[in-house]
């Protein structure tokens, strides 16, 4: 009985390893047709679902035709995009068409799938989110750990942590109906675009980042802070010269962890990024990110387009795995 339970516990612990390995292997196998066909060129190819016939002139497959001309055509129909509701409906309807269209076209010509647009969309939206979230999260963390008196810091701290628990779909829905229109009033353009997606993503990771950063800052021993104050240092100098150097690793680690979370976030972005294969030439262009491509197209795809989607999923998995491992092993390793 004892040895039996011990074996069982070993097996359970190994499932973690097995599942992660299985995810990698299964995604690789599923993506293989696309990997073999496009190789690493997939990463720099901006066409998605475009058939190229023998004359090598690209034909846009009926994918998302309603809203955008898919490739290198930034004369986007702003009016249509303006009405976010209409647009999203149109996209969903078109997905079914697209799946059918792609299947037909495969027979007489070559369909090209490339991941450049979703990859760029993912990176840019995450970048905007980080630029927006880092200063605010730092501000909140400084406020909570150094400025606010305990009777304010405590409820605000709890509020921030609770807000980190709100499902991401709520952030997305709020972004679609309230924040997107609000931003479009200020900067113009449509209410679903790269900028809105990045900002909503930023707002979503603020609570997560702030509470982790605050925790790191709180690990600074009081003795250090007090000796600095005793030398006549101001609060800012203590924060800058004592707390930051001491908690640097933890703070950077928290930021990267939040970055990893932003990279793979689906629902908060899916509502507000536009979901169209369009290379963003300016911040207010609608585009698409890897998780959103997966969310919108996965169920209706098959064959080569499905393999291409698995290729994207694999890329996302590997990138976030590297980012998170980097944060964990390089910056947060002292904790354990």
Partner 1 sequence: MRLIINKIILILSTLAAILGLIFLFWILITLTIKGVKAINLYIFTHDLVDNGLRNLLVGQLVLALIAILIGVPIGMIAGIYLQEYSFNNKFAKFIRNLSDVMMSAPSIVIGTFVYAILVNPIGHMNGWAGAIALAILMLPIVVRTTDDMLGLVPKELREAGVAIGAPKYRVIFDIIIRAAKVGIMTGLLLAFARIIGETAPLLFTSGNSQYFTLNLNEEFPSLTVAIYNLATMPDKHLVDIAWAGAFILTFFVLIINLIGRYIVKDKK
How many chain residues bind partner 1 (CB under 8 A)?
A: 92
Question: Is residue 2 part of the contact set for partner 1 (CB under 8 A)?
Answer: yes
* CA distance linking residue 250 with residue 214, whole number of Å: 10
> For residue 7, with 0-12 CB atoms within 10 Å meaning exposed, 13-18 middle and 19 or more buried, which class applies?
exposed
Which residue, among 154, 159, 328, 158, has the nearest Cα to 255 in the 3D structure?
A: 328
Interaction residues for partner 1, span 7-26 (CB under 8 A): 8-10, 12-17, 19-20, 22-23, 26
Which residue, among 107, 82, 77, 115, has the nearest Cα to 288 in the 3D structure?
A: 115
Question: Is residue 154 part of the contact set for partner 1 (CB under 8 A)?
Answer: no
Question: Is residue 250 part of the contact set for partner 1 (CB under 8 A)?
Answer: no
Question: Is residue 151 part of the contact set for partner 1 (CB under 8 A)?
Answer: no
> Which of 43, 44, 131, 147 touches partner 1 (CB under 8 A)?
147
Residue with Cβ nearer partner 1 (189 or 264): 264
- What is the x/- site pattern for partner 1, positions 270-289, by CB under 8 A? xx------------------
* CA distance linking residue 313 with residue 336, whole number of Å: 31
For 103-155, the three-class secondary structure string (H helix, E strand, C coil) is HHHHHHCEEEECCHHHHHHHHHHHHHHHHHHHHHHHHHHHHHHHHCCHHHHHH
Q: How many CA atoms does the CB half-sphere of 188 hold within 13 Å?
A: 2
* CA distance linking residue 267 with residue 289, whole number of Å: 11
Stretch that binds partner 1, among 43-51, 62-70, 158-166, 218-226 (CB under 8 A): 158-166
Interaction residues for partner 1, span 84-123 (CB under 8 A): 85-86, 88-89, 92
* CA distance linking residue 192 with residue 82, whole number of Å: 7
Interaction residues for partner 1, span 294-323 (CB under 8 A): 294-295, 298-299, 309-310, 313, 316-317, 320-321
> Which of 210, 212, 251, 255 touches partner 1 (CB under 8 A)?
210
Question: Is residue 168 part of the contact set for partner 1 (CB under 8 A)?
Answer: yes
The answer to whether 113 and 119 are in contact (CB under 8 A) is no
Decide the pairing of beta strands 110-113 and 48-52: antiparallel
Residue with Cβ nearer partner 1 (185 or 336): 336
Stretch that binds partner 1, among 51-59, 73-81, 200-208, 215-223 (CB under 8 A): 200-208
What is the nearest approach in angstroms of partner 1 to the Cβ of residue 271?
Answer: 7
What is the nearest approach in angstroms of partner 1 to the Cβ of residue 252?
Answer: 16
Question: Is residue 173 part of the contact set for partner 1 (CB under 8 A)?
Answer: yes
* CA distance linking residue 273 with residue 287, whole number of Å: 6
Q: Which helix (H) or strand (E) holds 264?
A: none
> Which of 203, 255, 288, 304 touches partner 1 (CB under 8 A)?
203
What is the nearest approach in angstroms of partner 1 to the Cβ of residue 49?
Answer: 18
């Amino acid at each position: 009985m004892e040895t039996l339970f011990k074996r069982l516990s070993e097996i359970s612990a190994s499932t973690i390893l097995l599942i992660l390995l299985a995810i990698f292997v299964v995604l690789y196998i599923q993506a293989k047709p696309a990997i073999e066909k496009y190789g690493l060129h997939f990463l720099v190819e901006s066409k998605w679902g475009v058939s190229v016939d023998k004359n090598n002139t690209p034909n846009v497959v009926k994918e998302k035709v309603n809203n955008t001309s898919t490739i290198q055509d930034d004369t986007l129909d702003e009016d249509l995009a303006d009405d976010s509701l209409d647009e999203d409906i149109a996209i969903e309807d078109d997905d079914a068409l697209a799946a059918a269209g792609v299947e037909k076209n495969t027979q007489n010509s070559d369909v090209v799938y490339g991941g450049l647009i979703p990859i760029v969309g993912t990176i840019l939206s995450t970048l905007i989110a980080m630029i927006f979230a880092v200063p605010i999260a730092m501000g909140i963390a400084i406020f909570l750990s150094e400025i606010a008196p305990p009777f304010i810091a405590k409820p605000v701290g709890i509020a921030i942590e609770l807000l980190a628990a709100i499902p991401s779909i709520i952030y997305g829905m709020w972004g679609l109906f309230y924040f997107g229109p609000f931003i479009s009033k200020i900067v113009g353009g449509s209410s679903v675009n790269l900028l809105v997606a990045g900002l909503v993503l930023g707002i979503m990771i603020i609570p997560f980042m702030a509470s982790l950063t605050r925790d790191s800052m709180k690990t600074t021993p009081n003795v250090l802070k007090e000796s600095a104050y005793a030398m006549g240092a101001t609060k800012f100098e203590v924060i800058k010269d004592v707390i930051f150097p001491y908690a640097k690793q933890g703070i950077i680690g928290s930021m990267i962890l939040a970055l990893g979370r932003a990279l793979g976030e689906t629902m908060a972005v899916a509502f507000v990024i536009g979901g169209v294969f369009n290379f963003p030439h300016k911040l207010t262009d609608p585009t698409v990110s890897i998780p959103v491509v997966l969310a919108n197209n996965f169920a209706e795809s098959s064959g080569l387009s499905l393999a291409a989607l698995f290729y994207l999923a694999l890329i996302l998995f590997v990138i976030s795995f590297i980012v998170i491992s980097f944060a964990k092993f390089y910056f947060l390793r002292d904790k354990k």
